[in-house]
Structure formats: structure tokens, C-alpha cells
């Protein structure tokens, strides 16, 4: 959707008459149904003055097309400025211009990420050239009018208030690759930007090109399909086994007909291969030229999936990233806009009041926004009060929306070295549900050990990493987490302390929270459920804090509200011990089941430790 469009002549005249902000605001209210923020109006008032001078002095034709605030379909992202027209050879082109009012910025050690002062504080955001390039990439690969025609795209960033310091952090070596993709123009580079626009769109005749861009259907290009398909091939982490293959083919078969609205529910516990199937489903749906997207509520999980998929070709991460989304961005998506939405970790979907979510029910948003929706879910992995994802809730909303329901259950265990029995045993021991594995599992298939100290657990994990295994320390949220504003951006503060054993480690650094699971520094920090749910390792070391305890008289596990430090995780549950206990037990099941080959456990509460030792000794005696 275009908020404002005109030809170059009208744009210049409107700015000269000091009416451009008024015109954009009118169009914004008309098309968005709301008023723009004061910050947006200030930005228009400031930046459009600069762009008017650029357009005028570039001597591009009066009938070049000008597009302001183009809303990228089904996202909350808007492209600041687009100029469309023909070059001197008569080729149809358009140029995306990302506008920034920054006067300073700072480099980071993260790929294509910088720090700038925005909305009253320093924030980490993508490099301006990356933003411009990513918007262009989306249109090239997902807008049918662009990739099915001879329409050629270009992109750049214009920081009209930025006076270049020496050395310039925005042009440091780590950003050179992305700057080559989308040139960076500063306050003193106006003449270069004018020449850039004149070279690509100077001949004009661009109004019709705006219409093509705005009305192009969202479909993956053949180039993108072939590219993603190539990333899956030869990637052992995404090979489908046994019933995973059956589930995958079921999804592909049901999505061949998108004329009828369908909701597909894939149920399965830890290690049944939900993520392998969901990722393959994304690739298969793209091969059918369907407008599909992969949704995962957990940002860490999304990041690791992208990294894993593109590990053989790291430069492709940015291209793949556009196929992934968080779960809160579909509030305003038009009905049935997507052919298929694939939702992994659906048990983490949120309801009204969840952090930074404007809607009422994310399940409803997703079902309404798609012709076919696929939910991968485990009812026993819900870990917060605002996690509303459940099979029952999905079925309820699907019924309200007239969506045909298909259910499939995964049972084979692939994570814990095939030890489905171990996961069942954990369910029994943590009193989550009764199972037939109350007396244990085949211990040759999975290594599980209890340790007397957290130090011993950590030494075991470090040894596994040194031997080439993927291994991490995990803990329940039973310790406070020092804020980054208090000097804890990179895990500088050792919050996880167990004085009786002289043990202390930091929580995972916020600067690497989304990549902690694969970052080389990750082994020196402890992950929580929010940075590990959905992921898997060869071995995990788990610390059960004082948030989960055992009552020997009642022979029951129970949660300690005061010892549980996740404020959002216990909101509204001070007087609901049963529900809090259920959630915390789910958390520890999630943590313990992250290991594929083994789990090493330390338990801080003496009564709970004794109870677990008794349960494990029973297993050893029986086998």
C-alpha cells in the first residue's frame, strides 16, 4: 500500500508550497485509519525538504514517479521514499531511498548492526544500507510484478544530517559488503545521490511503475525458490526421517488446494521432529509458488533456524531471514492474505496484554490472515500465563473462522537418541502426567546423570564442548537478571550464584541472546528457557533452582512464587500455586529435553534432590 504518490513535478511544487506534510498526513489517515505520530510528522517535515532539493537538482524528468511511505505488504515496515522511471536506455527502474535524520552513530561487532540515538535513547538497529537493501530484496523476490517483469530495482540510504567523522563508524570495513549493495550517502554526498538517481531513473515515465509495484501479488520468485531449495539440499539437520516424512507430505498434500480454508495441527512432544518438519514444509510450500511464511514466537529460535539453514552460505542469511516472522505482526494483515502460514512452537502464541503485542489473540490473527495455517504444538511446553497456544484454543478459533481442521500426532522420539522413554520418565518424575515409563528408560540410548554440585555439571559441559559436541548450561529463572542499563549488556554480571558451592555464572548476554546457542561465548554463560526453547544440543547441563521444590509429606512438587524471578512468567499467579507449579514444571521439562545425547542435572532444593535421586536409583535398579 502506498501512503502518498505523485509525479516529480507535483512533489516539488507541494514541498515548495509547504504542504507536503499536510498531504502525507491526509493520505495516512485515509489509508491507515489513524493519525501519524508527532515523530513521523517531524520526520516528513524535515526529510522531504532535503529530498525535494535532491529531486530538483538531479534534473530527473517531471514524470518520474514518487512514492512516499510504501507499506510493505503484510508487515509493519514502510519504505521511506521510492523514485521510479527509466534510465537513458529506456529500461524501467525504481530506486528505494532509506532516509535517516541521524547526526551520529556507532559501530558494533554484530553483522550489519549499528547503534544510534532514537526516540530518546541509544538503540541497536540495522545499518541504513542493510535496511534499504532488505526492502529491495523483498520486492525483488516476493513482489510478482517486480520479479516477473523487466522492472529493475536499486537501493540506497541518505543521512542528510550526518557529517562524516574520521574514521566514520558507518563505513567501517565490516559494513562494506552491504554498502556495495546499497550505497550510503551523507550530508556532503548530495551531489552523488543526485547523480545516482539521474543515472537510474532520469528519463522519467515512472507513474505506471508505481501502479505495478503497489498491485503486484506477493509470490516467491523462481530465483528465491531455487535458492532456498539449494540450502535444504545436503543439509543433514533438515533430513526427514520416518513419520516426519509422512507428516511433511500430509502438509504438502493439504496445501495444494488453498480454495478451502484449512487449519492443520501437528502435535508432538520434545524431539519428535516438529521443527525439522516445519522448516521443510516452508521449503516445500515455496516450491509450489505459494505465498508462505514461517512463524516462531521465540526470536532466538528464529535466528538459529536461519543460521542453520544458511550455514553453508553465510551471506544468504539476510535473504532467508525475510521468510521468517514473529507471531505478533499479523494483527492488521488482510484476511487470507497468505496462502500458508507455518507456526512452530505454537504453544508460545500470546493473547491480549502480552509484551509489545497490540492485538487480542495471535491464533486468531494467524488463522484469519491465511488460507491454510499449520500449527506445530506441544500442550506441555506452555511456560507463561500469557501463552495461550493450545490444541483446544486452535480448534475453537478455527471453528469460529470456518476453517477445516486436520490433526496429526507425532510419537517417534528423535531428540534424546531415540529415548522416547526418557521423555516419558521426565513427565512422570516431574508429575506432569502419568506414563508407563515410571520405572525408567533404556539407559543405553540416553545419558542422564545427577551431580552434587553445579560446578561438576559445568566442568562436564565444558569437556563436551572441548570434544567437539554442542553443549550448553541452562537454568530455571530462579535468579534475578541484572539489566543491561546497569552494566550487564554482555553478561558481565554473574547473576546465577550458588554460594554454598562457590558457583557463579552470568545469564546469557543480551547482545548475543538470539545467537547464544551457537555463539562461541555461549558456553561461558547460562541460557534460560526463552533462549533455548525449540533448540537442541548434544548435551545440556541443567540447574534446577529454588523455584521448584518438593514436599516429602505430600509427595508433591510445588513452585515457590518468591524464588521464581520471571515477573511476566508469574504475573497474576501469586494466589494460584497450582498453575504456577504447572508452568515451572513445564519449563524444567523443556530445559532437560534440549539434549539429544545427554543431560547433566544439579538440583538446589535438598528435598527435591533427594526425591530425584530416589527416582533415578529405582531406574538403575530396574535396568
Question: Is the pLDDT at 86 greater than 90, yes or no?
Answer: yes
Q: For residue 32, what pLDDT is reported? A: 76
Q: What is the pLDDT of residues 281-303, one digit of tens each?
A: 999 999 898 999 999 988 888 88
Kindly state the percentage of the chain with pLDDT values over 70. 94
Q: What is the mean pLDDT of the chain?
A: 89
Asked if residue 518 has a cis previous peptide bond (ω within 30° of 0), the answer is no
Angstrom distance (rounded) from CA 66 to CA 14: 12
Q: For residue 66, what pLDDT is reported? A: 95
Angstrom distance (rounded) from CA 58 to CA 198: 6
- CA dist list (Å): 195 to 148, 202, 550: 28, 9, 72
Angstrom distance (rounded) from CA 394 to CA 402: 12
Q: Quick one: average pLDDT of 194-221?
A: 89
Angstrom distance (rounded) from CA 187 to CA 203: 25
Q: For residue 415, what pLDDT is reported? A: 47
- CA dist list (Å): 64 to 146, 200, 202, 205, 252: 17, 11, 8, 6, 44
Q: For residue 623, what pLDDT is reported? A: 56
- Chain centroid, CA 106 distance in Å: 24
The cell 532467508 sits on which residue? 320
Question: Is the pLDDT at 412 greater than 60, yes or no?
Answer: no
Q: For residue 236, what pLDDT is reported? A: 65
Which is it for the CA torsion 154, 158, 163, 168, positive or negative? negative
Q: Is residue 92 within 8 Å of 203, Cβ to Cβ?
A: no
429-443 core/surface letters (b: 16 or more CB in 10 A; e: else) = bbebeeeebeebbeb
Q: What is the pLDDT of residues 325-365, one digit of tens each?
A: 899 989 988 899 999 999 999 999 999 888 888 899 999 99
Q: For residue 148, what pLDDT is reported? A: 81
Q: Quick one: average pLDDT of 64-82?
A: 86
Q: Is residue 408 within 8 Å of 376, Cβ to Cβ?
A: no
Domains identified in the chain and CATH numbers: 2-215 (no CATH), 222-409 (3.40.50.300), 420-622 (3.40.50)
Q: For residue 356, what pLDDT is reported? A: 80
Pick from 120-124, 324-328, 375-379, 599-603: least confident? 120-124
Question: Is the pLDDT at 314 greater than 90, yes or no?
Answer: no
Question: Is the pLDDT at 315 greater than 90, yes or no?
Answer: no
Q: Is residue 342 within 8 Å of 292, Cβ to Cβ?
A: yes
The angle subtended at Cα 60 by Cα 151 and Cα 203, nearest 5°, is: 50
pTM, 2 dp: 0.71
Q: What is the pLDDT of residues 119-162, one digit of tens each?
A: 778 888 889 999 999 899 888 888 888 888 888 999 999 999 99
At residue 170 the predicted structure's pLDDT band, cuts being 50, 70 and 90, is: very high
Question: Is the pLDDT at 217 greater than 90, yes or no?
Answer: no
Amino acid at each position: 500500500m502506498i501512503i502518498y504518490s505523485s509525479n516529480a513535478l507535483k512533489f516539488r511544487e507541494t514541498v515548495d508550497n509547504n504542504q507536503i506534510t499536510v498531504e502525507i498526513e491526509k493520505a495516512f489517515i485515509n489509508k491507515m485509519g489513524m493519525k501519524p505520530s508527532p515523530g513521523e510528522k517531524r520526520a516528513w517535515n524535515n526529510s522531504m525538504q532535503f529530498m525535494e532539493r535532491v529531486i530538483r537538482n538531479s534534473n530527473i524528468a517531471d514524470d518520474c514517479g514518487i512514492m512516499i511511505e510504501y507499506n510493505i505488504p503484510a508487515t509493519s515496515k514502510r519504505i521511506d521514499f521510492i523514485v521510479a522511471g527509466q534510465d537513458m536506455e529506456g529500461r524501467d527502474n525504481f530506486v528505494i531511498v532509506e532516509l535517516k535524520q541521524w547526526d551520529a552513530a556507532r559501530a558494533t561487532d554484530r553483522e550489519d548492526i549499528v547503534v544510534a540515538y532514537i526516540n530518546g535513547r541509544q538503540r541497536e538497529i540495522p545499518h541504513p544500507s542493510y535496511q534499504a537493501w532488505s526492502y529491495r530484496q523483498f520486492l525483488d523476490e516476493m513482489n510478482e510484478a517486480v520479479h516477473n517483469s523487466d522492472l529493475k530495482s536499486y537501493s540506497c540510504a541518505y543521512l542528510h544530517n550526518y557529517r562524516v567523522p574520521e574514521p566514520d563508524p558507518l563505513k567501517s570495513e565490516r559494513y562494506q559488503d552491504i554498502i556495495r549493495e546499497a550505497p550510503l550517502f551523507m550530508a556532503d554526498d548530495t551531489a552523488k545521490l543526485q547523480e545516482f538517481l539521474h543515472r537510474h531513473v532520469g528519463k522519467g515515465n515512472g507513474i505506471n511503475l508505481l501502479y505495478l509495484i503497489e498491485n503486484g501479488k506477493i509470490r516467491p520468485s523462481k530465483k528465491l525458490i531455487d535458492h532456498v531449495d539449494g540450502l535444504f539440499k545436503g543439509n543433514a539437520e533438515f533430513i526427514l526421517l520416518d513419520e516426519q516424512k509422512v507428516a511433511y507430505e500430509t502438509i504438502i498434500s493439504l496445501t495444494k488446494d488453498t480454495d478451502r480454508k484449512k487449519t492443520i495441527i501437528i502435535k508432538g512432544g520434545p524431539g519428535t521432529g516438529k521443527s525439522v518438519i516445519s522448516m521443510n514444509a516452508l521449503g516445500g510450500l515455496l516450491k509450489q509458488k505459494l505465498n508462505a511464511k514461517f512463524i516462531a514466537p521465540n526470536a532466538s529460535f528464529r535466528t538459529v533456524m536461519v543460521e542453520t539453514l544458511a550455514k553453508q552460505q553465510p551471506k544468504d542469511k539476510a535473504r532467508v531471514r525475510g521468510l521468517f516472522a514473529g507471531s505478533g505482526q499479523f494483527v492488521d494483515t488482510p484476511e487470507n492474505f497468505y496462502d500458508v502460514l507455518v507456526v512452530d512452537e505454537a504453544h508460545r502464541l500470546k493473547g491480549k496484554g502480552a509484551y509489545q503485542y497490540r492485538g487480542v489473540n495471535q491464533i486468531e490473527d494467524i488463522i484469519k490472515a491465511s488460507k491454510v495455517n499449520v500449527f506445530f504444538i506441544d500442550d506441555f511446553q506452555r511456560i507463561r500465563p500469557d501463552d495461550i497456544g493450545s490444541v483446544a484454543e486452535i480448534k475453537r478459533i478455527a471453528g469460529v473462522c470456518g476453517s477445516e481442521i486436520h490433526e496429526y500426532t507425532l510419537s517417534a522420539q528423535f531428540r534424546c537418541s531415540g529415548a522416547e522413554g526418557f521423555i516419558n520418565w521426565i513427565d512422570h518424575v516431574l508429575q506432569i502426567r502419568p506414563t508407563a515409563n515410571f520405572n525408567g528408560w533404556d539407559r543405553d540410548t540416553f545419558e542422564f546423570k545427577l551431580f552434587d554440585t553445579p560446578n561438576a555439571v559445568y566442568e562436564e559441559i565444558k569437556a563436551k564442548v572441548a570434544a567437539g559436541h554442542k553443549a550448553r548450561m541452562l537454568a530455571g529463572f530462579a535468579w534475578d537478571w541484572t539489566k543491561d542499563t546497569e552494566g550487564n549488556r554482555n553478561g558481565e554480571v554473574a547473576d546465577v550464584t550458588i554460594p554454598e558451592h562457590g558457583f557463579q555464572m552470568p545469564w546469557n548476554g543480551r547482545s548475543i541472546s538470539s545467537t547464544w546457542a551457537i555463539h562461541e561465548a555461549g558456553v561461558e554463560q547460562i541460557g534460560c528457557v526463552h533462549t533455548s526453547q525449540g533448540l537442541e544440543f548434544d548435551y545440556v547441563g541443567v540447574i534446577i533452582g529454588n523455584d521448584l521444590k518438593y514436599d516429602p509429606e505430600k509427595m508433591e512438587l510445588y513452585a515457590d512464587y518468591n524464588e521464581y524471578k520471571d515477573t511476566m512468567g508469574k504475573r497474576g499467579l501469586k494466589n494460584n500455586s497450582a498453575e504456577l507449579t504447572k508452568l515451572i514444571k513445564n519449563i524444567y521439562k523443556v530445559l532437560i529435553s534440549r539434549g539429544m545425547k545427554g543431560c547433566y542435572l544439579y538440583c538446589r532444593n535438598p528435598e527435591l534432590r533427594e526425591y530425584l535421586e530416589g527416582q533415578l536409583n529405582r531406574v538403575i535398579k530396574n535396568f
